[in-house]
Chain A
């Protein structure tokens, strides 16, 4: 793919890509920027290549997810971050529902599957391609995630 076309596609999906990077980094803004920058560099240098087997967005999200995973693994290994400090509770006023914190209570896989389906509008097949999981596994995470989130939402209302 030519650089101009690639750049154009990346620009088109930039906002969605940033949101996804942010979600993969537990809404840590600086980490998300770092992950996105690294992902773009991977693509520009040819380390990550779009082979047109899936949609561009699905492929881009997979690159970002893998980059975020590597980045967070290194962070945990070298800095031993306190998991409590990663709770995405900042900048949200107390009188509003903290959707991010609510979602963060779900297991990571369930969070990602629900975000990709409901937030980013992907099909289960596209989610499977992005997360590198079997579509049956994705379906399981999807069903369990929905049930768990409903329980959390009900608890929040009470």
Chain B
């Protein structure tokens, strides 16, 4: 192994050959327009999102006004002490006023 000396010499010669060709002058770089636009992207997005939230999702204002007339209603519950149960029907059913559901089918000619 010759430690690639032959190849190093080859590329040294190539480098010398290339030096005959002068590179063009360094060009003036344009302003970083795209970068500044990218810097503006986030604030613009945030502003648009906030506006959208305002338009769509703004909650209805709740009625926080305090009543001027304050009325106090006091409900008192009194337990009635009794041992008897009461029927919930106010009027008693009469057996004479009862009519069968199929009574209308009976034709009285």
Interface residues of A (CB under 8 A from B): 3, 6-7, 10-11, 14-15, 18-19, 22, 29, 33, 36-37, 40-41, 43-47, 91-92, 96-97, 99-100, 103, 114-115, 118-119, 146, 149-150, 153
Q: What residue in chain B is nearest A156 (Cβ atoms)?
A: B10
Other A-B pairs beyond A44-B32, A91-B20, 11, CB < 8 Å? A11-B26, A14-B26, A18-B23, A22-B21, A40-B29, A44-B29, A45-B32, A115-B11, A118-B7, A118-B11, A119-B14
Q: List chain A residues, Cβ under 8 A from B21.
A: 22, 29
CB neighbors of A among B27-63 (8 A): 27, 29-35, 38
Majority SS at the chain B contact face: helix
A45 near B38: Cβ-Cβ < 8 Å: no
- B residues bordering A, Cβ < 8 Å? 4, 6-8, 10-11, 13-15, 17-18, 20-21, 23-24, 26-27, 29-35, 38
A103 CA / B18 CA spacing, docked (Å)? 13
* 5 shortest interchain CB distances as A-B pairs: A18-B23, A118-B11, A99-B14, A46-B35, A44-B29
Are B7 and A114 in touch, CB under 8 angstroms?
Answer: yes
